[in-house]
Structure 1
Amino acid sequence: MRDFESMVRQDTDEIYTRLDDEQSQRQLLASRVNTLFRDRRGHAHTRLLMETEARMSREAWGKSMDASDLARAERAISDLLETDRGRREEIRELRAADRTRQQQIIQTLTVMQTLQREMIPLQGLVTTLQGQVTALQGQVMTLQGQVTASQGQQGPVGGPVQPELPGEAGSST
């Protein structure tokens, strides 16, 4: 019986020890749960801070990308404006050259009109001179015919006689 009593006491002690251990673990767990429960506001605040920081980082990244895109766009616009300035200057130069050419064309046309006006009387003179040349050629042919006829009547005395024509006087053939 003593053994039985000692065994029961030992088992009881063991049970109480286990109960105490279980109770200690429960208390530890309860204490942890209470700590977590008390700290949940802090954790929630920390979570909000982290989310805010992440959002701000995303926004800053987006702004930096926008700024980078903006800088590229500004460079592109600056390049386009410079190209536009160059083209405008080229257009100004072409317009100035065009005005100069137009003035030269107007001057040329004016000279041509003046020459044309002066040519009208000259054309009349040329026509008159052509008529006179034709008449003179006719006279020359008549004279040649007369010379030929007179040579045929005289006959060759010491060889053919050919008088010098007025246009050929002084020249030797």
Structure 2
Amino acid sequence: MTQREVGYGITDSWDEIVETLQGAPVSTDTELGGYMREFESRVRQDMAEIYTRLDDEQTERQLLAGRLNMRQTVISELLRLEHRRSTETSESRTALQGQITTLQGQVTALQAQVATLQ
């Protein structure tokens, strides 16, 4: 039996079934029953294959969605940490600038004392 690919790995054998049914003279109900059983079997196989592929694709999508959620969580955590470190750096810079200003004032005062002592 020749099957042609119709996409997504699914084969189409309907044309051949129809040609077989149309071209073959049916002489008894037994032969017709055999054709019908073959047709029903092929339909069931095709449907089972389609449902299997759909299940596989749905499972793959669920896995990808889980990975995406995990990565989004990691990105959110990294952004939160970066913001915290940025805030801490800014606060440290401000504190250091205050200390530098204080030290500059002390140096100026000490220089004035040294000048008066000379």
TM-score range, shorter chain: 0.5 to 0.7
Q: 4+ residue runs of structure 1 moved beyond 6 angstroms?
A: none
Distance (whole Å) between structure 2 residues aligned to residue 41 and residue 35 of structure 1: 10
- Establish whether residue 108 from structure 1 lines up as the match of residue 92 from structure 2: no
Distance (whole Å) between structure 1 residues aligned to residue 43 and residue 85 of structure 2: 61
1:82 maps to amino acid = R
After superposition, residues 88-103 of structure 1 pair within 5 angstroms as 88-103=86-101
- What stretches of structure 2 of length at least 5 have no aligned partner? 1-27
- What stretches of structure 1 of length at least 5 have no aligned partner? 1-27, 121-173
Q: 1:34 Cα deviation (Å)?
A: 4.7
More helix by share: 1
Distance (whole Å) between structure 1 residues aligned to residue 99 and residue 48 of structure 2: 75
For residues 96-148 of structure 1, the C-alpha deviation after alignment (integer angstroms, 9 at most, x for no partner) is 0011011112111111221221121xxxxxxxxxxxxxxxxxxxxxxxxxxxx
Residue of structure 2 equivalent to 1:80: 78
Aligned length: 91
Distance (whole Å) between structure 2 residues aligned to residue 83 and residue 67 of structure 1: 24
Distance (whole Å) between structure 1 residues aligned to residue 96 and residue 65 of structure 2: 45
More strand by share: 2
Residue of structure 1 equivalent to 2:6: none
Residue of structure 2 equivalent to 1:37: 35
Structure 1 residue matching 2:89: 3-state secondary structure: helix
Identity of aligned residues (%): 18
Say which one has the larger Rg.
1
Alignment partner of 1:58 out of 51, 56, 78: 56
Q: CA RMSD in A?
A: 2.1
Q: TM-score, normalised by structure 2?
A: 0.66
Q: 1:93 Cα deviation (Å)?
A: 0.5
Q: TM-score, normalised by structure 1?
A: 0.47
